[in-house]
């Protein structure tokens, strides 16, 4: 049994990682900005903290064997957050640091979030800690989340012009990440992608229908370089179509 801290253990992916680790009877810690919800029944140790400021991070790291860094601020602050995770982990010892990244971040140069993720990967690789990095494609629920966020607009915007995605089920990525967290540090491992390659417009239309919206789906304009990269398949990993759950199955279940 290992002591494993999951940053972002309340998020889409982190929740799945936590659930798998608990099944294997590890001692699981969750770091969140919130205090523990009274309804929270999972047998995890809860640490309230903030990776932007570093508040509360130190105590969560004491005695950990593994840190699975799933938290994201969805922006450039991920670099600060990752620096803080590495700093606190090093002060606590030499835990195995497991980081989740995104397929193609080095092939789409103009997305600020992707540039930040690439920098986070570099920080992990040069942290001096034993490390593992898994890159995954977009989770199914990213598409539904983006549609939901636009539900009050007159139209729903998505990557247009034949941009293709290969979405994967977060639960399957969570299972893989939990396996990696309880294995020897492996460096950069094989990417993980979903079972089907589909156009972003098609996926978005299905999500719009599933949300019960009647809105046109319109193409979002991207800087030319990124657009070309995405159209040419920068976000895909066809040789690692390991996920089994399709987008339709995901929609049917949710
Ligand atoms: N979504 C995708 O399609 C996708 C695809 C491939 C890889 N990834 C990567 O997977 C990771 C998780 O993504 P996700 O979609 O599961 O994220 P998410 O659902 O948006 O969850 C974000 C998590 O980060 C935590 N967090 C945010 N700001 C924080 C802060 N300042 N201090 C501490 N915790 C903070 C949140 O916890 P609290 O709100 O409880 O504080 C929450 O648990 C990210 O690194 C992302 O880049 C995502």
- How far apart (Å, rounded) are the C-alpha atoms in residues 73 and 79? 9
Domain assignment present for residue 33? The answer is yes
Which pairing describes strands 3-7 and 27-32: parallel, antiparallel, or unpaired?
Answer: parallel
Q: 128 lies in which domain range?
A: 3-137+170-188
Calculate mean pLDDT across residues 214-218.
Answer: 94
Measured in degrees and rounded to the nearest 5, phi and psi for residue 145 equal: -65, -40
Report the CATH number at residue 54. 3.40.50.720
- How far apart (Å, rounded) are the C-alpha atoms in residues 223 and 110? 7
pLDDT at 41: 85
Distance 249 CA to ligand 1 centre (A): 23
Domain assignment present for residue 151? The answer is no
- How far apart (Å, rounded) are the C-alpha atoms in residues 21 and 170? 15
Distance 71 CA to ligand 1 centre (A): 4
Domain assignment present for residue 120? The answer is yes
Q: Any residues with CB less than 8 A from the CB of 39 and at least 6 apart, and which?
A: none
Domain assignment present for residue 100? The answer is yes
pLDDT at 194 over 80: yes
pLDDT tens sequence across 116-166: 999 999 999 999 999 999 999 999 999 999 999 999 999 999 998 889 999
Calculate mean pLDDT across residues 199-216.
Answer: 95
Work out the burial of residue 239: count CB atoms within 10 Å of its CB; fewer than 13 is exposed, 13-18 middle, 19 or more buried.
Answer: exposed
Residue 51 has which token pair? 């990776």
Domain assignment present for residue 101? The answer is yes
> Nearest-5° angle of CA 17, CA 242, CA 234?
100
Candidate of 11, 133, 177 to mutate for ligand 1, largest count of ligand atoms within 8 Å of Cβ: 11
Ligand 1 nearest atom to the CA of residue 7, by list position:
34
| Residue linked to tokens 């005695």 | 63
pLDDT tens sequence across 26-74: 999 999 999 998 778 889 999 999 999 999 999 999 999 999 999 999 8
pLDDT at 87 over 90: yes
Measured in degrees and rounded to the nearest 5, phi and psi for residue 9 equal: -70, -5
CB 133, CB 124: distance < 8 Å: yes
How remote is the C-alpha of 21 from its chain's centroid?
17
Domain assignment present for residue 221? The answer is no
Domain assignment present for residue 129? The answer is yes
Instruction: Report residues whose beta carbon is within 6 angstroms of any ligand 1 atom.
Output: 7-8, 10-14, 32-34, 50-52, 70-73, 100, 102, 117, 136, 138-139, 142
Count up the domains in the chain and report the number: 1
Domain assignment present for residue 75? The answer is yes
């Amino acid at each position: 049994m290992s002591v494993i801290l999951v940053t972002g253990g309340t998020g889409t992916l982190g929740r799945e990682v936590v659930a798998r680790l608990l099944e294997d009877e590890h001692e699981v810690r969750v770091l969140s900005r919130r205090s523990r919800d009274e309804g929270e029944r999972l047998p995890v140790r809860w640490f309230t903290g903030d990776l932007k400021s570093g508040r509360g991070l130190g105590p969560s790291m004491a005695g950990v064997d593994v840190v699975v860094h799933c938290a994201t601020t969805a922006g450039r602050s991920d670099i600060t957050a990752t620096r803080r995770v590495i700093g606190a982990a090093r002060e606590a010892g030499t835990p195995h640091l497991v980081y989740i990244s995104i397929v193609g971040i080095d092939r789409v140069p103009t997305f600020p979030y992707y540039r930040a993720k690439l920098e986070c990967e570099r920080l992990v690789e040069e942290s001096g800690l034993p490390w593992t990095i898994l890159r995954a494609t977009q989770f199914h629920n990213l598409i539904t989340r983006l549609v939901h966020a636009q539900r009050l607009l007159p139209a729903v915007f998505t990557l247009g012009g034949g941009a293709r995605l290969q979405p994967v089920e977060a639960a399957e990525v969570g299972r893989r990440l939990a396996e990696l967290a309880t294995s020897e540090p492996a460096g950069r491992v094989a990417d993980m992608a979903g079972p089907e390659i589909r156009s972003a417009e098609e996926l978005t239309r299905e999500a719009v229908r599933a949300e019960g919206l009647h809105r046109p789906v319109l193409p979002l304009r991207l800087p030319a370089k990124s657009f070309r990269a995405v159209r040419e398949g920068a976000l895909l990993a066809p040789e690692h179509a390991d996920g089994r759950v399709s987008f339709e199955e995901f929609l049917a279940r949710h």
